[in-house]
Copies of this chain bind each other. A is one copy, B any other.
Amino acid sequence: MTRPVHRVAPATDTPVRQESLRAHNLSLTFRQIVGAPAPISRIELAVATGLTRPTITRIVDELLAGGLIVEAAPSRSGNSGRPRVGLSLAPTGPAGLGLDIRVDALSACVVDLTGTVRHLAFAARPPAAADALARLAEMGRAAMAAAAAEDLTVVGTTLAAPGPVENASVVRFAPVLGWRDVDAGAALRPALGEVTVDHDAGLAALGELYASAPALRNFVCVSGEFDIGAGIVLEGSLLRGARGWSGSLGHVAVTADGPECACGATGCLQHYAGLQQILGASPASAAPAGGPATASVPVLAPAVAIDTLVSSGDTATLAALERAGTALGVALSALVNIIDVDTVLLGGSYSLLASWLIEGVERELNRRVLTASWAPVSVRPAPLGPDAAVIGAALSAIDRVRQDPNSWLARA
């Protein structure tokens, strides 16, 4: 009756020594602390992990010495007796650095072990790739300095890029930036050390995942920037695909014999639900559609412009939004039919336009998803919205420590 698990790949392909045993149990205990909604005591940890108290004592000592956790004020367990000492993640120590390059802005973000955003900065994007990367490197160094001032050490950096990435370093193709085969990882490494480059849609989904944890475990997060991407999370882990290029939702066909798309195919979702297309629907819109922001706050110029148009009663834009919602629903139906997730988050710019899109999306999902009649798909705006990618990037960097605290303890 248990859910079957199939794989040809071995569960773990390394031999286990007594030493790894210790590391495993330490990691297991630490993950319990990470996942706990409130400070957790040693006794509770022993129950949760199945380890004995003495072992927990030893492991907790090690984590305390390494600065990964702190003892909180003794908490009442209701009964009499010695009160439990709460353990929670340290607000200092390791931190993750996230960088994001969007059409309209660059951003940098530092997140600590607890998942709290400790630093978040934005800047305009210089048009040239080299300039943008240089600016990002500066922002990264500034963020690291700001982190150091708060007793945080950046242990990993992730860059979110709007396109498929190879070897966690080279951006193969990012039409909205005009990039092709840009080795962003190599460009940033001299200034920032090891950098992992990843697709922004996936990182945005991770951001929403961590921010919502443990509420959401299976969902897709549609990042409506200029490129429509989907980050798919199954059982709390990001679906990356064979080569890490999953989630190209923008070029799923909505109508196979529809109008031609810039990619060469016909009837792509991008044509119906792209921001540029929605904006272009109204003759009133003279928006530059993608000009760099100049302020030090995140500006989603196109989404804001659309919002303004609709609020002022522009019927053409309203109709375009209706079309976009329907098309998005068709493409998402394909996605849900193919991979079966139960929740759809409208992220990125779409989170700002959700109220106009959600109806069309839900209608198509209910019509087209085979299992929707007895297990409806939930659609809602993504809580983190346009900042999900930077935050997700930072979280994905710090998450390596959260999943394997031994790496931090070894170097401390």
The interface-forming segment of A11-19, A273-281, A284-292, A303-311 is A11-19
Q: Hey, what's the 0/1 contact readout for A228-261 against B, CB within 8 Å counting as 1?
A: 0010101111111111111111011111110000
In the complex the two chains form, is B371's CB within 8 Å of A340's CB?
no
Q: Hey, what's the 0/1 contact readout for A337-353 against B, CB within 8 Å counting as 1?
A: 11111100000000000
Please tell me the number of chain A residues within 8 Å of chain B, measured between CB atoms: 96
- A interface residues (Cβ-Cβ under 8 A, vs B): 1-16, 18, 21, 24-25, 27-28, 31, 35, 49-51, 158, 164, 167-169, 172-173, 196, 198, 206, 209-210, 213-214, 217-218, 230, 232, 234-249, 251-257, 263-265, 267-268, 326-327, 330-331, 333-335, 337-342, 367-371, 374-375, 396, 399, 403
Given contacts A8-B209, A16-B21, A31-B10, contact A370 B168 (CB under 8 A): no
* Contact among B7, B252, B326, B370 with A338 in the assembled complex (CB-CB below 8 Å): B252
The residue in chain B whose Cβ has the minimal distance to the Cβ of A212 is B8
Q: Considering residues A327, A331, A396, which has the most beta carbons from chain B within 10 angstroms of its beta carbon?
A: A331
The residue in chain B whose Cβ has the minimal distance to the Cβ of A326 is B256
The residue in chain B whose Cβ has the minimal distance to the Cβ of A338 is B335
Given contacts A24-B16, A168-B4, contact A339 B339 (CB under 8 A): yes
Residues of B within 8 A of A18 (CB): 18, 21
Residues of B within 8 A of A8 (CB): 35, 209-210, 213-214, 217, 236-237
**What 9 A-B pairs come out closest when comparing CB atoms?**
A241-B340, A218-B242, A7-B237, A8-B236, A9-B236, A248-B337, A245-B340, A252-B334, A246-B340
User: Bound state CA distance, A198 and B230, in angstroms?
Assistant: 27
User: Bound state CA distance, A369 and B248, in angstroms?
Assistant: 9
A-B contact pairs, 9 of them (CB 8 A): A3-B168, A11-B403, A15-B50, A16-B21, A16-B24, A172-B374, A173-B370, A243-B371, A334-B335
